[in-house]
Amino acid sequence: MSSCPDAATARYASHVLRLAVLEAALISLAWGTLRPAAAQDAPAFAPGMISHMQNMEQFKDVDHGLQPTPPVIPRFEVDPDPSGAVATFQPNGATFTFNNAFFQNLGTNGRTCFTCHQPQTGWTVSAASVAERFVASGGSDPIFRIVDGATCPSDDVSTPAAKQAAYKLLTEKGLIRIGLPLPAGVQFAVTAVDDPYDCNTNPVTGLTSTTTGIVSTYRRPLPATNLGFLSTIMWDGREPSLTSQANDATLGHAQAATPPSAAQLAEIVAFESGLFTAQDIDNQAGYLAAAGATGGPVALSLQLPNFFIGVNDPFGNNPTHASFTSQIFDLFQPWLASGPVGYVAARESIARGEEVFNNTVISITGVAGINDVLNVQTFSGSCGTCHDTPNVGNHSVKAPLDIGIADAGAKAPPVLDISGLPVFTLKCMAGPLAGNVYQVTDPGRATISGLCQDIGKLKGPILRGLASRAPYFHNGSAATLTDVVNFYDQRFKIGFTDQEKTDLVNFLNSL
């Protein structure tokens, strides 16, 4: 993944260091230096979340030690993944890790941002990569810390077998525990929790009444890359800025006793905002920017100047929005008829999959955030209705949506695997939805807003670098991209042919 810096690189490193310090100083000047950067926009959930994470220090880790880290993240880094290779491009040049706050131990448990955000897995972690780290370190790698790596901080980790059980959601599905306080004035009551770990049900770690205390759900780390394209931060959109996100991650995941400095926060945000990640090579189709195609992270970086909030908003919420197009991706169009060269069949399949993504008409029904907001029974859309940012695939405006991934009980999607997740029964007590009862593995945005209408709503993430970072969806319930496609086929009764499914999966694997 990296090489040792020689004398020339070391000189370059000190040059980069001086530039980074200068840049950090400029950024903090521009943002107003004297107050800690994150205090300017501290979100309402944060104090409760942080005090919960720090209270959890009453449960002691058995392992200590630092995060193994490569000396440098090169300007162009390529790593093998299950369908070829994923690559990260830093237009501003290589980053030396020893003096960059993203890679520094700013907390008390040995973790850094790099613990959960690594390039070879698209700047998150894959379940397979975590399982390998567990075996290689005997469960001592800093990702295995009970505060949120374990199913509950109160878990027994005193024997190898106990440890294996405590970290099973992390090693099997790549899930981190997210403990968030129910907000004051919450419209619903948590009337029951089926919790295999007794984490929500124990008042020391969880709920203190049906409307107070900490709700623990289990979520996939989102990729800390391609961030210039985000319209909302975190699965539930709870962070107002990357600065507040980095602050809260340090105080939470890393259990820091004091917040990072404004300069450290600026350095973290500058580093992660300078990363562009995409699949670069496909095992069957070869180089994804060959023969006129524009896959890979360099072409992706060139999309950034074209992006703005609402760039392709299907609902016209943004006054600056142009007319919506469902043609979200045009990376592989030149491969539709790629001529008599190598890789033909594989390239044509990827190009056809792009057409399936762009052109398949989907009757969108029962999606809170669309059908209720527009007040229509059926909205005739496509994948791009919800994944509208051109060549990126997240939503170009904030759009918390409930497509049913968090549903449990009778409504649980049959294709998805929600085994091992707690199931919450939520009864809506106030507002227009009063009386309704929901069974979910995650209340989603409702834990932040307290509103019944937000139950099960989450954001659609960026669809690049997918092949490197299975499993999928916020709760890791789709083990493969085939499961993702089968979920949509069933949920919206699309009726994909086997060929369309294969092509769509090949396309998603090439993003």
The smaller minimum CB distance to ligand HEC, of residues 290 and 505, is found at 505
> For residues 386, 389, 393 and 399, what is the CA-based torsion angle, rounded to 10 degrees?
-40
Residues 6+ apart with CB under 8 A from 346: 282, 284, 285, 286, 506
By CB under 6 A, name the one of 368, 401, 408, 448 that touches ligand HEC.
401
Q: Provide φ and ψ at 287, rounded to 5°.
A: -65, 125
Encoded one letter per residue, x for contact with ligand HEC by CB under 6 A and - for no contact, window 233-272 reads: xxxx-----x--xx--xx--xx-------------x---x
The alpha-helical segments, DSSP class H, found in 182-336 are 242-251, 262-273, 297-301
Specify the stretch interacting with ligand HEC by CB under 6 A; choose among 25-33, 49-57, 91-99, 113-121. Answer: 113-121
The smaller minimum CB distance to ligand HEC, of residues 87 and 478, is found at 478
DSSP assigned state of 213? B
CB of 7 to ligand HEC, least distance (A): 31
The smaller minimum CB distance to ligand HEC, of residues 78 and 399, is found at 399
Interaction between residue 89 and ligand HEC (CB under 6 A): no
The smaller minimum CB distance to ligand HEC, of residues 207 and 484, is found at 484
HSE (CB half, 13 Å, CA atoms) of 244?
18
Peptide bond into 340 cis (omega under 30): no
**CA–CA separation, 151 vs 173, rounded Å?**
12
Interaction between residue 148 and ligand HEC (CB under 6 A): yes
DSSP assigned state of 37? G
By CB under 6 A, name the one of 27, 56, 130, 224 that touches ligand HEC.
224
The smaller minimum CB distance to ligand HEC, of residues 438 and 488, is found at 488
Interaction between residue 311 and ligand HEC (CB under 6 A): no
Interaction between residue 178 and ligand HEC (CB under 6 A): yes
**CA–CA separation, 238 vs 445, rounded Å?**
8
CB of 381 to ligand HEC, least distance (A): 6
Interaction between residue 130 and ligand HEC (CB under 6 A): no
Could you list the beta-strand ranges (E) of 195-340. 214-219, 276-282, 286-287
HSE (CB half, 13 Å, CA atoms) of 74?
11
Interaction between residue 488 and ligand HEC (CB under 6 A): yes
Residues 6+ apart with CB under 8 A from 350: 282, 285, 332, 335, 503, 506, 507, 510
Task: Return residues touching ligand HEC (CB under 6 A).
Answer: 111, 113, 115-117, 148, 176, 178, 219, 221-222, 224, 227, 230, 233-236, 242, 245-246, 249-250, 253-254, 268, 272, 357, 362, 364, 367, 370, 381, 383, 385-387, 401, 403, 405, 458, 460-461, 463, 466, 472-474, 484, 488, 504, 508
